[in-house]
Amino acid sequence: MRLLFLCSRNQWRSPTAEKVYQNDARVEVRSAGLSASARCRVSEKLLRWADRVLVMEHAHKRRLMEQFPEVVSDLRIEVLDIPDDYEFMNPELVTMIRERVEPLLDESTRA
């Protein structure tokens, strides 16, 4: 399964999620941001690569739907509800990511 993690600037949350799952044999992962100032900006190509898109906030899902309406209709987008309160690889952030992503991975292996 290919997971694309998205946050605003691809600075802390989504790169942390990518790092957490980069060596997990169950998934391939990438990360990007929705802001014009993102370190790696989301693109149609990245969205088409993904089997599932995991965004940090509901606002990110709305922005995706506005910016890429023709692509997102075919995508499964999950909102992780992780606020922009943590720096890269913060232990609490890592725990939150695992707590929210693992049930989604378990669900996909049962399907």
- pLDDT digits over 6-65, tens only? 999 999 999 999 999 999 999 999 999 999 999 999 999 999 999 999 999 999 999 999
In this prediction the pTM is 0.94
Cα–Cα distance, 38 to 52 (Å, whole number): 20
What tens digit of pLDDT does each residue of 74-102 get? 899 999 999 999 999 999 999 999 999 99
18: its two tokens? 């990518």
Q: 2-110: what CATH class? A: alpha beta
User: What are the structural domain ranges in the chain?
Assistant: 2-110
Segments in 22-90 forming alpha helices (H): 44-49, 58-67, 69-72
